[in-house]
Structure 1
Amino acid sequence: MELKKEIMNSKKSNLNLENRNKLILSGVVEVISFDDKTIILDTSLGTLTTKGENLKMQKLDVQNGDVIIVGHVNSCVYTTTESKKDKDSIIAKLFR
């Protein structure tokens, strides 16, 4: 649990996609779910959903937060848990 907090606080994450066949990630907090078409990871910058074909986790280093995924990658999408309310501009706050 302490490691998860430490990674979340550092907000450091790298994503490197090589020829759509090898995805190298750092800053991974935990693996939420995976199969050969979709891998969902919780990272220090939000939830990362990777979709493709024949996806496999070649390396999973939970202690350092490193993951290597091989297979044909079609998409990588980040979603955050921050609410829209936190991102309101000053002008939007004035006209409430």
Structure 2
Amino acid sequence: MDEKKPAAFHSLMLERQKGGTITGIREVISFDEKEILLHTEEGKLSIKGEGLHVKHLDLKSGQLSLEGKIDSLTYLGRKKDQKEGSLLKRLFH
């Protein structure tokens, strides 16, 4: 039987574009020195930059610490903004 974890709090703390700490991490999808792609409580999060490294990862507590020059943080398909089906489908269903 699958037990679901209660929803974790998601937060981001950026330290002068040189690293930071993120909570509410469910999974690290991929990472290299230019991009880290995460699945968070708020959807997928893309972190782009240079020399990116995961310093600490604890999936049990949902925490990740990273270092490197961070150029952008982008949420891809936020969980709260996702709609069920197209507008026409919702209107005429």
State the TM-score, normalizing by the size of structure 1.
0.77
Where structure 2 has 5 or more consecutive residues not aligned to the other structure, the ranges are none
Where structure 1 has 5 or more consecutive residues not aligned to the other structure, the ranges are none
Q: Which residue is 1:83 aligned to? A: 82
Kindly state the Cα deviation for residue 73 of structure 1 after the two structures are TM-superposed.
0.1
Q: If each structure's helix is expressed as a fraction of its own residues, which one has the higher value? A: 1
Kindly state the Cα deviation for residue 12 of structure 1 after the two structures are TM-superposed.
1.2
Identity within the alignment, %: 34
Aligned residues: 88
CA–CA distance in structure 1, aligned partners of residues 46 and 19 of structure 2: 15
CA RMSD of aligned residues (A): 2.5
Corresponding position: 1:15 with 2:8: no
Aligned 8 A contact 1:36 1:54 in 2: yes
Corresponding position: 1:48 with 2:45: yes
State the TM-score, normalizing by the size of structure 2.
0.80
Kindly state the Cα deviation for residue 24 of structure 1 after the two structures are TM-superposed.
0.5
Aligned 8 A contact 1:11 1:45 in 2: no
* Residue 38 to residue 61, structure 1, CA distance change in 2 (3 Å): same
